[in-house]
Structure formats: structure tokens, C-alpha cells
Amino acid sequence: MGCYFILAMSALRNPVGSLMLLLGGVFVVLGADPATPSAGGPPLNTLQPSGPGVIQQPARPNALKFDATSKHVDLKEGELSAAFVFAVTNISSEPITVSNVSTSCGCTAGRLPSYPWKLEPGQGGHVNVTMDLKGKFGLVTKTATVLTSSGSYPLTVSAKAPMMSAANTMGDRNRNLAIAAADRQAIFRNECASCHVQPAIGKVGKELYQTACGICHEAEHRAQMVPDLRTKLKNSDANYWTKWISEGRPGSLMPAFAAQHGGILGVGQIETIVEYLETDYKKNPPPSAFKPAAVPASAPAAGPASATTGG
């Protein structure tokens, strides 16, 4: 208020100068740093879609050599995580800096000996990757991309979690269902948000489906407990999709996407997904990108897939 009073008094003495002062103030406001927080709110630029995507550069040949680009483990009953170790050596004549490991989902994490990690010519070490398999069974495949000054190196990890034995089925199943029911919204929080929340910001229709739903249901390495929606098209309608997207499936890993149920989408956004599923998707389903990972011959056969979902 004080500024406006001073400006008004100045206008009586020097109208032209006051007009320039006013325009200058407008330009200052319009040119303000968008990252400056508004009162009681986050920085404006945090509301823009950013997504988890990492800019990957092709790996330079004859730079880093890994002992393998994919690894698989068969878990025993009761094991809830899988650990993988990749040996890597700098076979070039120049130092290479490894900056980070980007994973395809929050349930998978990569670890380097240090950040950044510098490998001199001829020097080697290990990249560790861990996968959290709580609440999952069957074959689960994820990717971990090693980001370096010589380019990006994609690694694939897969694990087969066994079906529960008949003796422990009820106890283990009830425990897992209780965990999933209590925390099925976890994909919208913490590190999982980079995959399941940020890419969906500002999207509608097909693009929103791809970022919010397709990340699991259309994934190239879709977990076996995640259903293929193409099998649901004959017996579904708008009400079917609306219910499942909005409320999810209590007692499973399928989260509720509606904001009123603790999700991230408004009613209007869900309606655009439903419209896409009932029109373009149902009339011309996209080709499946699913590619089952190669499993060693010694791996046990997978049990029947469940109609639950998970990343």
C-alpha cells in the first residue's frame, strides 16, 4: 500500500516519470525468478512436468568393459530382495568418470563405490544393483543405466521369486496382502514419485495413460503379476475403467489414482484416460512391447500370474 501511495503522489508532480516507474515495476514482476517461492507454496518451477527421464548418450566403444550386461537370480522362498554385482574395467587410455546409476523403477537401486567415481586406465571396480521384491512373485525384470563421461551403459537385472509353498500359502498371502493394502499408494511417494508422479503432470488422454498406467501395464519387462489390459477389453466399459483407475484394488498392489482416495489424478484426468481406453485403445490396441527376459534353463517354471499390479 505504501508503494502505491508514493507512486500516486509522484504522479501528481511528474506523470511521465511515474508512468515509466510503473512500467518498470511491471517488467520487474514479469521477469522475476520463477523459482522464487510464492507465499505458502512451493517454487513455481517444481510444478512443471520434469519426469524421471535421464538424457543418455551412446557409449563410446572400447571405453568400459562389463563382465556382463544382464544378470539373473532365482530367489528362495522367503527372500524378499535380489542383489547383483557387475564388474567393470576401464579399457581405454583415458580416465573415465562414472557419475550415477539410473534405474527404471523405485524398487531398484544402484550403488557406486563413490560419487563421482573416477576410473583410471586399466582400473576396475564393481557396480551394485539391488531389487526389492516384497509383494511380488514370478519373473521381474528391471534396468539400471550406468551414466559415465564415456556414455551410458544399460544393464538388465531379473529375478524369479517363487510361488509360496502350500504349507505357508495362507499365512504368507495374508501377510503380503496386508502389507499391500496398507501401502499400495507408496508408488506416489518418495523416490517412486520420480517414475509414477512427475511424468504424469500436465498430461491427459493417451499421454496420461502412457505415463500413469503404461509404465507398468505396457512395460517391455512387465512383471508377471501385472495384467495385460488387452485381455480386459471384451468385458469392460467406461464404468469398469473408472472404478478400477479411481479406486484401485484394495488388498492388492493396484493403487487408487483418484485424488479423493489418496491418488494423484482429478476426476477430469481420469475421464480422459477412460475415454482413450474406450475409443482408440479398444479399437486399435497398441502392439505389446512385452519381452520376457531370458531365464536360465535351471530356473523353475513360473506359477500362474495374479491380476494384481505393480511397477
Residue 265's SS3 state is strand
In the three-class reduction of DSSP (H, G, I as helix; E, B as strand; rest coil), residue 130 is classed as: strand
Helix (H, G, I), strand (E, B) or coil at 160: strand
CATH number where 143 lies:
2.60.40.10
Beta-bridged to residue 141, according to DSSP, are 158
Q: Are strands 138-148 and 151-161 parallel, antiparallel or unpaired?
A: antiparallel
* Bridge partner list, 82: 131
Q: Which of 144, 161, 178 is the last residue of a domain?
A: 161
Q: Specify which of 15-19, 234-238, 293-297 reaches the highest per-range mean pLDDT.
A: 234-238
Q: What is the pLDDT of residue 253?
A: 74
* Secondary structure class of 151 (helix, strand, coil): strand
74 in any annotated domain: yes
Give the least confident one: 42-46, 50-54, 125-129, 158-162: 42-46
Q: How far apart are CA 131 and CA 15, in angstroms?
A: 69
Segment 98-109 mean pLDDT: 87
Least confident of 20-24, 104-108, 185-189, 205-209: 20-24
pTM: 0.50
Domain containing residue 205: 169-283
Question: Residue 97: is its pLDDT beyond 50?
Answer: yes
Q: Looking at per-residue confidence, does 217 or 221 come out higher?
A: 217
User: Domain for residue 141, yes or no?
Assistant: yes
Final residue in a domain of this structure, among 99, 133, 161: 161
Can you give the three-state secondary structure of 11-74, one letter per residue?
HHHCHHHHHHHHHHHHHHHHCCCCCCCCCCCCCHHHHCCCCCCCCCCCCCCCCEEECCCEEEEE
Nearest to 76 by CA among 309, 311, 300: 300
State how far the Cα of 188 lies from the Cα of 201, in Å rounded to an integer: 12
| 51-55, 125-129, 130-134, 287-291: range with highest mean pLDDT | 125-129
Say whether both 157 and 183 belong to one domain. no
Quote the pLDDT of residue 285: 85
| 147 domain residue, yes or no | yes
3-state DSSP assignment of residue 280: helix
Q: Name residue 289's amino acid.
A: A
Give a yes or no: residue 23 inside a domain. no
| CA–CA gap between residue 275 and residue 3 (Å, rounded) | 51
The pLDDT mean for the chain works out to 73
Please identify, among 136, 161, 186, the residue that sits at the C-terminal boundary of a domain: 161
pLDDT of residue 295: 44
212: phi then psi, degrees, rounded to nearest 5: -95, -35
And the C-alpha cell for 135?
A: 509383494
| Domains: count for the chain | 2
**Residue 95, CA atoms < 13 Å, CB-side half-sphere:** 7
Mean pLDDT for 157-165 is 78
Listed residue (136, 31, 30, 35) closest to 81, CA to CA: 136
278 burial level (CB within 10 Å; 0-12, 13-18, 19+): middle
- Read off the pLDDT band of 56 (50, 70, 90): low
Q: Do 110 and 71 fall into the same domain?
A: yes
Give the tens place of pLDDT for each residue, 265-290: 999 999 999 999 999 998 888 877 66
| Whole-number pLDDT of residue 301 | 36
